Structure 1
Amino acid sequence: MNPVEIEQAISNLAEEPFNAEEFPYAFLEAFGRKATEIKKLRKGDTNKSDLGGVLQRNNIHIATCAAGEVSETLAALKASPATTKFKAKFILATDGREFEAEDLVGGDTVACAYQDFPDHFGTFLPLAGISTVKQIRESAFDIKATGRLNRLYVELLKDNPDWGTAERRSEMNHFMARLIFCFFAEDTDIFSTGDLFTGTIDRMSNRDGSNTHEVISEIFRAMNTAIADRASANLPRWADAFPYVNGGLFSGSTEVPRFSKIAQRYLSHIGGLDWTKINPDIFGSMIQAVADEGERSVLGMHYTSVPNILKVLNPLFLDDLNAALEDAGDNARKLLNLRNRIAKIRVFDPACGSGNFLVIAYKQLRAIEAEINRRRGEADRKTDIPLTNFRGIEIRDFSAEIARLALIIAEYQCDVTYRGQKEALAEFLPLDSQNWITCGNALRLDWLSICPPTGTGVEFQSEDLFQTPLDQAQIDFENEGGETYICGNPPYLGSKWQSKEQKDELKAIFDGRSDNWKTLDYVAGWLMKAADFGQHTVCTSAFVSTNSICQGQQVSAIWPAIFETGHHIQFAHTSFKWSNLASHNAGVTVAIIAISNLTGRPRKIFSLDADGNVAVKVADNINAYLVAGRDVEVRKATKPISRLSTMVYGNVEKAGGHLSLSSDEVEELDLTQEQKEKFIRRFFGSEEFINGKARFCLWIEDEHLEEAMAIPKIARRIEGVRKMRSESVAAATRAKAEVAHKFWIILGAPQSHTIVVPGVSSENRPFLPVGVLGSDAILSNRNFAIYDAPIWNMALIASRLHWVWIGTVCVRMRTDFSYSNTLGWNAFPVPKLTEKNREDLTRCAEDILLAREAHFPATIADLYDPEKMPANLRSAHDRNDETLERIYIGRRFKNDTERLEKLFDMYTKMTTKVAS
C-alpha cells in the first residue's frame, strides 16, 4: 500500500464505531499487513502479548483498555517483558476516546483524541514497510488532500470518460487546478467567508449532484468577471459573492464535468479539510501524480525532499546570501544593498515539474529578505522579490499549471507570515496575468528566450497565466546586473531507455561536439544546454544528475564539450541516494554537479562520511570525476599501466545453453566418475560466484572429442550447438559450428587457480567480491579472470582503494558496480612493489580467504552483507587496507576523497610519463 491508501484506510477506521476487540487487527490491516498475518494473530499462533493485547514480533504491541486508562496502559506496554523480548518497535493504547502511542526506536510519541489519530499516520508507516522520514510526518495534510483529490478525479472520469481522453485531459487537469485554488482560498480568507465555495455548492446543488456542474460553472464565470462588468454579466445572485480572480485561472471555457452523488460527496469532504496546512513545496509533486494514471499506484510518494533540494540551492546561492546577511549585521546600507541584490536574482529550473525547486528558492529568499526588513525596522514592507524571477520549463501541462499555482500559494503564505493576513489579502487579488512557467520540451526550446540575459525583455505570446499549453514565457522585467542561477532535477534515463525522440534531442545538442554522445544519460542534455546558456551571460547551474555522467566512457562524451564553453565544475555533491517515500524505491544514486563561468570563487566538494555526515573540501579544481585535482580523462588501457598480472574476460558460451548444465542435468548424462572428471567442469557466472549456486559445463579438449562423441547424451548436446550456430545470421557464429564442442570464445582456463572478479556487483557491499577458484573452474563472460597469477593481486582488488577507484571510473549498471578490466584494472595506479610488499599483500589475501573459510558454507553474498559481515573477516580486510595504504602514502588514508586524490594524481603522472 502507498501512503495515500494507508491514510484513507486509517481515516475510515477512525470514522467507524470503536470496537475494542477488533481495533488492533483493523489497525494492522490498514497498514497493509497480510491477511495471513492477521489470521495467525487472531488465532494466537503469533500473538506474543502478555497483556491481553496484540503483539506482532518485530512490529507493534497494541492494547485497548477501559475509558480513562490509556496512559496507564501505554506505560504497561512499555514495561512489558514481551515488548522487549519480541522487539516491538511501537506501542499503542486506546480506549476509543483517547489515543496514545510511542515509537520505541525513534522516540516519537503521539497523544490525541481518537478521531484525530489519522493525522499521525506517518509515524506508523514502518508498519507498512515504508521507511518514514521527517517530511512525511509533517505533510499528513498533503497526503490526505492528494488522496481525496485522487478519489474525486477517478470518480469524475467514470461519469465523464471523454474528459480522460488525450484531447480533453488538459481541460480536466485545469479544472482540478481551479478546485485546488478554491479550496485554499476559502480556508485562508481570500474568499469573504470560510465556506463560500463548498457551502455554495452544497446549498445550490441538487442532492443527486445532477446540477453540480452548472453551479460550479457559474462560480468559475463569476471569478473571471471583473466587478465593473458584473451588472451586465447576468450572474446569479449567489455567484456574485465570489471575487474577481483573473490571472487566467478562470478564463476560457467554464465547462465542468458532470457530478454523481458520490462525486459531490467527495467534493464536500475535500472542502472540509483544513487547506491552510497545504505545503506547496511538497503538495505539487504529489498532486501531479493524480493526473498520471501510470503513477497513481505510488500516490503520495512523489515528492522531492526539502533537505535534498537544499543540497543544491545552499551552495548555489543561499550560503553566499546568508553569509552576506551575517556580514551586514545591522548596517542599514549593507542590508539595503543585499535586499536590492536579492530582488534581482533569477532562479531558472528548466525541468521544473510541479515547482519544488522554485518554491523552496522563493521561500528561502523571502526569509532572508524578511530578516533584512526586520533589521532595518521595515518589517511590514512589501516584498521586492517578484514571482516572475522564478522561471521554469515543464513538458507536462498539468505540472506546469501546478507549479504556477504552488508559487502563487507560496507567495500568499509568505505575505501572511512576514506582513500579516490583512496586508496579504489586500494585495492578493486579482492575480497577475504574467506567465513565468513555460510548458514545453526543455531540450528543444531556446533557454535564452525564456530566461533572457539580464535586462532583455520577452514578447507576450499569450494572454493568460494558466492557459495551456504555453509556448513561451510572457514577462518583460527589469533586473539589469542581476544574478542568474539555473537548477533542477531533470529526467535521468540511461541511453538504453531513451526513445527515438529523446535520442534525436541529444543528437541535436551534441552532434559535432562529441563522438560518443549516444552513450550519454538523458540528463546530460540539460548540463550542455546550461553551458551554452552561460556563453551569453554570467551564471552558475546546478543539477541533480545520475552519477554515471562522471564515470566511465560518459566522461569523455560530455565533459570536454562543457569545458570548451569556458565552464568549470564550481561545486559537487558526490554520490548519494535521492529517494522518495516508496518502500520499493530505495532511491537512485545521484550526484549534484554545478558548472559555472564565474572565476575567483572557492570550489567545493561535498561528500557523505561513513556516519552520514557531510564533509566539505575546498579545491583549486574539480575534475570530471568529481575529484579535487587536475582535469584528467581515464582512458581504457589494453594492458596494466602498473606492473600487474593480465586480467581478461571470462569465456563466452554462445551455444544455446547446450554446453551449460544444472546439477540434475549432469546426473542425467549417466557418466562414470572418470568421465565426469574429464568432461565436466564447474561453471561460474557472477551469480554463481557471489551466491554459491551450482552450475556446470561441458569442457571437452580436442584430444578427447572422439571419446565424448561416443556418449550419446553428450553427442546430442554438441549436435544442438552445431545446429544453433550453423543457423545463425552472424557469419562469425556460423564459423564456430565446426567446433561445436567448444565455447564460442575461450580466453583462458587455469592450470592451478583463477582470481575471479564478478562483472557486476552491488555497491552496498563494503568490498568488491573478489575470490580464488581452483583449476576445475571455468568462468563465463559475466566475470573477469586473472589466471594462475600471484595471490597478492587479489589483495589489491579486495581493498577499499580499488573499491573507490572502480566506483569512480567504471560505468554503473543502475546502482551496481560494473567492473572493467581496461578501465578498472589496467588503468589502476599502483606504486612499484618490493618483494616485501608482495609478501605482505600475499599474506593479507590469504588471511581474507582463511577468514571466509572459517564460515563455510556461507556465500560471498552472506559474508559481505554490510549488516552481517563477520568480525574476523572485517578485521582481515582492515589489515589488508592498512598494509596497502602504507605502501601508497606511509599511513592510512583519512577518507575516500583522499584516496581518490592520490589515485588520480598517480594516474596523471604515470600516463603522462608513458605518453612522453
Structure 2
Amino acid sequence: MNTIEIEKSLEQIAQDVAAGACTLHDFPFRLMEAYDASRNEVTKLRMKHPAGLAATDILWPKKMLYRPAAPGEVQNVVEALKASLVGKKGAAAKNAPRFLVSTDGDEFLAVDIKTGESPGFDRLADLPVNYDYLMPMFGVERYKPAAETTADVRAARHMAKFHDAILDANPGFGVDHVHDLNLFMTRILFCMFAEDTGIFKKKLFVDTLRREAMQIDGSDTRRVIEDVFIALDIPVEANRAGAGVQSRRIATDFPYVNGGLFRDRTAVPVFNRRARRLLLEAADLHWDQIHADIFGSMIQAIVHTDMRADFGMHYTSVPNIMKVLEPLFLSSLREQLTIAGDSVSALGKLVDRISKIRVFDPACGSGNFLIIAYRELRRIETEAFRRIRDVKRKGQLALPDYHTGIKISSFYGVDPVDFACETAKLSLWISQYQMNQKLGEICSSPAPALPLTDAGSIRVGNALRIAWSDVCPSDPASEIFIVGNPPYLGRPKRTADQQDDMAAVFSAEPGVFGNLDYVAAWFARAADFGRLTGATAAFVTTNSLFQGEQVPLLWPLLRSKGAEYSFCYTPFKWSNSAAKNAGVICVIVGLRPISNRPKAIFSIEHKIAASNVNPYLVDAPDIFVERRSSSIAGLPEIELGSAAKDAGHLSLDTQEMEALLDAHPEARSLIRPIYGAQEYLQGDLRYCLWISDDQLALASSIPSIAGRLRLVSEARAKSTKASTAASAAWPHRFNEIRHRDEPFLIIPRICSERRSHLPCGFLPEGTVATDQAFAVYNAPTWLFSIVSSRLHLDWTATVGGRLKTDYRYSNTLVYNTFPLPSLSAQQKTELEDHALAILRAREPYIADGRSLGWLYNPETTPDELRQAHRDLDRYLETIYIGRPFRDDTERLEHLFKLYARHSKPKNS
C-alpha cells in the first residue's frame, strides 16, 4: 500500500465530491479503492448497495458503517449510527464495523469504535493529509500506548483536539486571554473527572450539556458553561441566580466546590460546531481511570503543540520520581512505620510527623513530584490509621473517625508557565480525592469530596528570582523537602534571560557560573534555603555537574554555604523514550546541610552505605581534580592534535587525493594521511595538504593547490578570532601545529559511552593527528595498556566530562591527573605483552576491513579481543591492590584515594 498514492486518491475524491463528480452514495466505494481494497470486494458491495436503494446505510463488514448526511447533520448521523449498535451484541457483533462514517460533502466524521477516538479534523478536504487515521480499517493499527497510560493518552489527545477547536472558534483568545484559556481548560477537566468519580452526580456535567446546550452549532454552549462555573463557586443555592446563573436547573443541580478553582470570573470562550462535538466526546471518556501522577504532564502538552507527537513520553517517570523521594524522606517514614508496629502511641507520632511535612518543587511543571509525594505520604498515613483501627477493634474500643492531617496546601511549587501551575493544582485535587476514597475504605466517617480545600501553594513565577521562603514558609515544627527535575541547559543553550538568572543567583561569585549548567542555580538556591531552614533537597539532573571542569566550580561554592551531598544515584540513561531525551545521562543527588547522618550511593541494582559522597558522587575524600600541565604519575607528555582552521580546503578525501596525484605526481610530498576521532574509529581514510615553508613554491605552482590556499586565506581573514585572522597570511600551514615527525599513540577525543574500553592505537611517522585526537609521540608500548584499561575509562568517564552521552577525553584533566602506582621494569614488560596481545587480537579484523568502532561495539566485539582486555584489566588492577576490583565503584574509590595521596587536596 503506497501512502503517496493513498493521499493522491483521497485528494481526488474530495475534489470530485466538491464538484459533484462523486455522489455521497459512491463516496464509501471510492474510499475503499483509495486504500487499495480488492476490486472484487468493492464490486460485490456496490452490487449489494446500488444507487437509489431506499436503505442508504452501507455496511462493509468488520470495517465501516456509512451513512450520508444532509448539510450540517453529520454529527447527528454518527450519533444515530452509534445508537443503532446498542443492544443485540451491537458493537460486539461478529461483523460489527470498526468505523462509523458520515459526510455531507463538506463536513466529515469517522468514529473509531474500538478506541473511541474521533479525528482531529472535521472537513473532508483535510482527509488526505490525515489518511493514517483510517488505516486501522485496512489492517494497519496506529500507535498503541502502554496499557497503564491508555486512558491518559486518549484523554490527552481528545483534549488537544478540543483545545485547538476552541482556538479556531476564538481567534486571538490564546494571545489575549492566555490565563483565561488555561483556567477554562482546567475547570472543564475537573468537571469531567468529578462526574465520573462520585464528586458530582454520575454524568451530571455531560447530561447538562446535552440538555441545555442543544444547538448543534454550539451557539448556546458558552452560556451553559458560564452557568455551571458560577454555580460551582456559590455555596448557597438561593444566591446563584443573583450571581448570574440563568438556568434554575443548573443552579439546583451543581454542588459547591470551593478550593479557589472557580473563584475568579474569567472569560469563557465561544463554541462552534466542532468544539461542542469534541467536548461531548471528551466527556464520554472514562475519567475515573486517569492517573493523576502522569495525567498532568500529558494535559500540559495540550497547550504545547511541539510536545504532542508522543503523548505519554514528556513527563518524569514514576520510578525516577521515587528514586528522588524514597531516600530523601519516604524511606525514613517507612522505617518509622515498621518500628512502630502495632503501637498506637508510636503510630500516632508518625501520623503527627507526616502532617508537618512540607514538599516544595521549585521547578514543578504540572506537579508530578508533588502528586507522587502526596500520594505516598497518604498511603503511609492510611496504613498507620489501619493499624490503629485494628488494635482498637481487638480491644473493643470505640473506633475514631480518621481524618487526614496531610493538606494539599502543604505542597508548594513554582513554575513560569501558567497552565502548568493550574494543571498541578487540578492534579493535586484529583489525587486528594482518590486518596480520600482509599481512606474511606477503613474509615467510618470518610472525608467529604466537597468542598475542596484550597490548593493555593502553586505559584507562577521564576524560582531563581523569587524568595523561596515567600513560597514555602518554614516553622520550627515542620520538615521541608525540596524536590524536582529543574532544566539542565549548558551554557551554549541558555537564553539571555537564563544568563541573567545565573548572574543573579551567583551575584556574590561572579566568576563561577560561566561554565556551569543552568541547573546549578537550583543547587545553589537549595543550599541557601537549607542553611536558613534546615530543608533537604534532591534533584534529577545531568551528570555533567559532577564531572570535569564543573566540579571545582560548584563544589567549593556549595561547601561554603554549609551543604553536602547526602546520597546519589549513579549515572543512568534517561528512561523516557522521547527523542529529545535520548542523549541525556542523569543522576539523582541529595543535598543537605552538613551533618553526621548516614550517606548512601545507589545504583540500579543496589544501595551502598557510604562514608562520604564526594563531588564526583563516589565514596571517596572530598577532593576535586583540577587541570594539570604534566602527568601526576610521570607518564610521557601528551599533545592535542593540530588544528587546521581551513574551512576544509586543506583536507582531501581519497578520490580528491588520487585525482591530484594523477595530474601532479610531484605533489606527493605535500600530502599526508590525517586522523581525528572519526577517521581513526570508523576507518575513514582522509588526507591533508601538509606544506612546509620551503615547499610553498612547489605548492603554489600547482593550480588546484594554489586555489585551495587562496580559499583558506579568504576564510581565515573573515574570522572574528584575531589569531585565526592573522594566519590568513600563511594559508599553506595549519593554524595550530603541534605535530612531530615521529610515530605516536593516538587517543580519540570523543568516544561512545557504550564502549567498555577506550580504543587507542599506534600510527606511523608522517601521519598527522587533528585536534579531535591526542597524540603521545614515541610512546612506549606499555602506555597503550594503561590507556586501554578499564581503570582509565572509568577515570575518563568521571573526571573528563561528556559530549551528550559520549566520553570526552582531555589531556590536562584526564591523562595528566590519572593516578598510577610506580611501575617496575618487569611490570612494564608485562604490560607491553598485554598491549601486543590486544593489538594481535585486533589485527585480522582490521586487515579484513573492520573498523575500530566495530571492534569496540559491545554487540560485535570479538571474543578474543574481549578476553585480551579482561586479561589486561586483571593484571593492571593487581598492580594497584593485589587483586581485581569488584566493580567500577571500588575502582573509583581507590583511584580518588590514590589521587589524594599524590596531589594536594583542594578543600573548601
Structures share fold, TM-score greater than 0.5: yes
- 1:901 counterpart = 2:886: no
Please give the secondary structure, in 1, of the residue aligned with 2:735. coil
1:792 deviates by 1.8
Q: Which residue matches 1:224? A: 233
Q: Within 2, Cα distance between the matches of 1:437 and 1:42?
A: 58
| Cα distance in 1 for residues equivalent to 2:270 and 2:444 | 38
Deviation at 1:585, TM superposition (A): 4.0
1:679-694 equivalences in 2 (<5 Å): 679-694=670-685
1:492-527 residue CA offsets vs partner (Å, 9 max, x unmatched): 111111111111111111133363311111111111
1:281 is matched with which residue?
293
User: Does 2:287 align with 1:295?
Assistant: no
Q: Does 1:164 align with 2:174?
A: yes
The TM-score normalised by the length of structure 2 is 0.81
SS of equivalent residue, structure 1 residue 617: strand
Shift in CA distance, 530/426, structure 1 to aligned 2, threshold 3 Å:
closer
Separation in structure 2 between the aligned mates of residue 731 and residue 541 of structure 1, nearest angstrom: 46
Distance in 2, matches of 1:866 and 1:712, equals: 47
Shift in Å, 1:900: 0.4
Shift of the alpha carbon at 1:781?
0.6
Counterpart CA distance in 1 for 2:38 and 2:792 is: 53
- Kindly provide the amino acid, as one letter, of the partner of residue 489 in structure 2: L
Q: 1:692 to 1:587 in 2, by over 3 A?
A: closer
Q: 1:238 aligns with which of 249, 258, 261?
A: 249
Q: Which SS does the other structure have where 1:238 is aligned? A: helix
Unmatched runs of 5 consecutive residues or more in structure 2:
1-27, 40-60, 63-92, 99-111, 118-135, 390-398
The reply on whether 1:257 has 2:269 as its aligned counterpart is yes
Q: Secondary structure at 1:554's aligned position in 2?
A: helix
2:811 is equivalent to residue 821 of structure 1? yes
Q: Is the 8 A contact 2:661 2:668 kept in 1?
A: no
Q: Please name the residue that 1:328 is paired with.
A: 340
1:360 aligns with 2:356: no
Asked if the contact 1:379/1:419 (under 8 Å) is kept, the reply is no
1:437-467 deviation line (CA, Å, top 9, x unaligned):
111100001001111221xxxxxxxxxxxxx
SS of aligned partner of 2:422: helix
Which residue in the other structure is 1:147 paired with? 157
TM-score, with structure 1 as normaliser: 0.80
Partner-residue secondary structure (3-state), 1:486: strand
Q: Does 1:522 align with 2:518?
A: yes
Is contact 2:674-2:686 (8 Å) kept?
yes
Name the larger-Rg structure.
2
3-state DSSP class of the match of 2:648?
A: coil
Question: 2:196 matched to which residue of 1?
Answer: 187
Q: Does 1:653 align with 2:623?
A: no
Residue 201 of structure 1, aligned match among 206, 209, 217 = 209
Residue 672 (structure 1) shift? 7.1
Aligned-pair CA distance for 1:857: 0.9
Deviation at 1:675, TM superposition (A): 3.5
Q: Distance in 1 between matches of 2:892 and 2:454?
A: 52
Give CA deviations for 1:549-599 in whole Å, capped at 9, x if unaligned.
111111111111111121111111111122323266425211111111152
Alignment of 1:430-829 (within 5 A): 430-433=451-454, 435-454=456-475, 480-513=476-509, 515-582=511-578, 585-586=581-582, 588-597=584-593, 599-608=595-604, 614-671=605-662, 675=666, 677-726=668-717, 728=719, 730-751=721-742, 753-829=743-819
Structure 1 contact 863–869 (Cα < 8 Å) conserved: yes
Superposition deviation, residue 868 in structure 1: 2.0
Which stretch of structure 1 is more off in the superposition, 174-183 or 772-781? Answer: 772-781
Q: Which residue of 1 aligns with 2:356?
A: 344
3-state SS of the aligned residue for 2:216? coil
- Counterpart amino acid of 1:415? N
8 Å Cα contact 2:227/2:244 also seen in 1: no
State the Cα distance separating 1:739 from its structure 2 match.
Answer: 3.1
CA distance 1:686–1:566, change in 2 (3 Å): same
1:838 aligns with 2:802: no
Q: Is the 8 A contact 1:221 1:254 kept in 2?
A: no
Instruction: Work out the CA distance in 2 between the residues paired with 1:914 and 1:257.
Output: 61
Instruction: Give me the whole-angstrom Cα distance separating, in 2, the residues matched to 1:815 and 1:731.
Output: 33
Deviation digits for residues 690-724 of structure 1 (CA, Å, limit 9, x no counterpart): 22212110112334333333323223323333444
**1:305 equivalent among 293, 317, 321:** 317
SS at match of 1:535: helix
- State the alpha-carbon separation in 2 of the partners of residues 358 and 801 from structure 1: 40
Partner of 2:20: none
Pair 1:585–1:567, CA change in 2 (3 A): closer
- What secondary structure, in the 3-state scheme, does the structure 2 residue paired with 1:335 have? helix
Q: 1:339 to 1:256 in 2, by over 3 A?
A: same
Distance 1:128 1:621 in 2: 53
Q: Distance in 2 between matches of 1:826 and 1:786?
A: 12
Q: Is the 8 A contact 2:408 2:455 kept in 1?
A: no
Aligned counterpart, 1:393 = 414
| Identical-residue share of aligned pairs (%) | 41
Cα deviation per residue 1:797-844 (whole Å; 9 max; x = unaligned)? Answer: 211111111111112212221111000100011111111221222222
Cα separation, partners in 2 of 1:893 and 1:421, compared to 1, 3 Å = closer
Which secondary structure state, in structure 1, belongs to the residue aligned with residue 373 of structure 2? Answer: helix
- What CA deviation, in whole Å up to 9, does each residue of 1:631-689 have, x standing for no partner? 10101000101121111111010223221112222233244796454121112222212
The structure-2 alpha-carbon separation of the partners of 1:580 and 1:42, relative to structure 1 and needing over 3 Å to count, comes to farther
Deviating more after overlay: 723-732 vs 409-418: 723-732
Which residue identity does 1:238 align to in structure 2? Answer: R
Shift of 1:359: 0.7
514-523 vs 767-776, greater mean Cα deviation: 767-776
- Report the Cα distance in structure 1 between the residues aligned to 2:580 and 2:519, rounded to whole angstroms: 23
Q: 1:118 to 1:759 in 2, by over 3 A?
A: farther
Deviations 1:291-317 (A, max 9, x none): 113323333321211111110100001
The one-character-per-residue Cα deviations of 1:21-61 (angstroms, maximum 9, x if unpaired) are x9xxx9xxxxxxxx9xx99x999xxxxxxxxxxxxxxxxxx
Worse-matched range after superposition: 719-728 or 404-413: 719-728
Distance in 2, matches of 1:693 and 1:95, equals 60
Give the residue type in structure 2 aligned to 1:246.
N
Partner of 1:77: none
Give secondary structure in 2 for the equivalent of 1:536. helix
| Secondary structure at 2:209 match in 1 | helix
- The count of residues paired between Structure 1 and Structure 2 equals 779
Matched-pair contact (CA < 8 Å) for 2:321–2:369: yes
Once residues 539 and 727 of structure 1 are traced to their aligned partners in structure 2, the CA distance between those partners, rounded to angstroms, is 53
Report if aligned partners of 2:661, 2:667 keep a CA contact under 8 Å in 1. Answer: no
Shift in CA distance, 169/421, structure 1 to aligned 2, threshold 3 Å: farther
C-alpha distance in structure 2 between counterparts of 1:208 and 1:731, whole Å: 67
Q: Deviation of residue 630 (structure 1)?
A: 1.2
Shift in alpha-carbon separation, 1:659–1:598, aligned structure 2, 3 A: closer
Alignment of 1:80-99 (within 5 A): none
Aligned mates of 1:489, 1:589 — CA distance in 2: 13
Give the Cα–Cα distance (whole angstroms) in 1 for the partners of residues 291 and 718 of structure 2.
63
Distance 1:390 1:584, change over 3 A: closer
SS of the residue corresponding to residue 543 of structure 1 reads strand
- C-alpha distance in 2, partners of 1:785/1:496? 28
Deviates more, 1:716-725 or 1:286-295: 716-725
Deviation at 1:537, TM superposition (A): 1.7
The letter of the residue matching 2:531 is Q
Is this contact kept in 2: 1:157–1:164, CA < 8 A? Answer: yes
In structure 2, how many angstroms separate the alpha carbons of the residues matched to 1:648 and 1:381?
71
What does 1:30-41 correspond to in 2, within 5 Å?
Answer: none
